Amino acid sequence: MANVESLIKSLSHLRGVRVVAAMSGGVDSSVMAALLKDAGADVIGVFLHVWDYSREEVAGHGSCCSLDDAYDARRVSDQIGIPFYSMDMRDNFRDNVIDPFIADYESGRTPNPCERCNRFVKFGALLDAADELEAAYVATGHYVQRHDDESGVRIFRGADDHKDQSYFLATISRRQASRILFPVGNLQKDETRELARHYNLLTAEKHESQDICFIPAGDRIAFLKREGASAGFVPGDIIDTEGNRLGSHQGIAHYTLGQRKGLNLSDGPWHVVALDGVTARVVVAHPAEAMIRRVEVGEAEWIRQPVDGEKLIAKVRYQMKPAACSLTMQGDDYELVFDTPQKPSAPGQVAAVYAGQELLGGGIVQAVHRDGQTNV
């Protein structure tokens, strides 16, 4: 097990400092709050009520932010002896996460709801709430490390490569980053579980959520139809890059850029390389033609601005291994050019930029370029 005394010592500078602990009801945030309490911080547990679930939606599926999670978050707060509040963030979540999620799938983009939740809810509205509670920091259970120096806040990948969540924080601002703590970011996941057992937390063996929090059953199509995303379900043609018709489909919402499974086309394999929300066309290409080199990125935020000559790597999909690239600023936006061709990404996804293990910042993919073609 991780050395508890060493962990507490690393947090000793927070003794007497008020910290809002973002409690999700899971093991990571439970351990985070316990460590802060043990270190002498003035901890306030907060659960964000972002979505209303039916019992049918959550039965048999992992979820986060459900009513059961709210109950677990409250019970853990009681266990470790901290005050607890449940905050109604449903309107904020609808405006900043749900509605853009639906609009993106109707237009042919592939949204990243976790990124938007972090940017606008967890580290947007929750930081505002922290101000009202006169708290200096918000702490989360993210597997991300923070190591400040004389220049200020510095954010790094989590110590557990398999659990690193820095990608989802690439679009937070430097101001937001300066007020966020990640007490479990230097741990391996199994060490976090061991600490939960050490503190006898009721979430120690709790199943980990894998689904999008507002689609706990994992059925994205059913959710989009229920929410009225009709433009995403207009039937259309599947064509190749030369315009030849290869088949038909029942709506672009069924597809994402880079998708290769479920296309049911002959002469494959094929990858989806473009989705046209106006003509309802799905464009596919063979793997070699689908590779991308250049990515246009908007909504850029920098925790630390890249310096001239710095060797950079980036990822434009969560599961992608960061790849060497060059970066050119274009006003408030930037363009990434990878040294070697990469598998397709989709507009709407996060482009996270790193210098080694350090997360510099990122933005939202606006367009990807392959062999002179542009997908937006």
Active site residue 213: yes
Q: Tell me the DSSP string of 140-166.
A: ---SEEE--BTTB--EEE-SSTTT--G
CA-CA distance, 76 to 82, in Å (whole number)? 9
Contacts of 278 (CB under 8 A, 6+ apart): none
Q: Nearest to residue 348, comparing CAs of 158, 111, 146?
A: 111
Are residues 83 and 34 in contact, defined by beta-carbon separation less than 8 angstroms?
A: no
Active site residue 117: yes
Distances (CA, A) of 129 to 123, 136, 285: 10, 11, 48
Which DSSP letter does residue 119 get?
I
CA-CA distance, 126 to 145, in Å (whole number)? 20
Torsion of CA 134, 138, 139, 143, to 10 degrees: -170
CB atoms within 10 A of CB 128: 9
Helix (H, G, I), strand (E, B), or coil: what is residue 13?
helix
Distance of CA 153 to the CA centre of its chain: 20
Active-site annotation holder among 64, 65, 114, 213: 213
Which DSSP letter does residue 322 get?
P
Kindly state the tokens that stand for 330. 């274009």
CA-CA distance, 71 to 304, in Å (whole number)? 38
Distance of CA 302 to the CA centre of its chain: 16
Active-site annotation holder among 64, 65, 114, 117: 117
Distances (CA, A) of 300 to 169, 210, 213: 12, 27, 25
Q: Nearest to residue 38, comparing CAs of 1, 60, 10?
A: 10
Q: Which residues are catalytic?
A: 117, 213
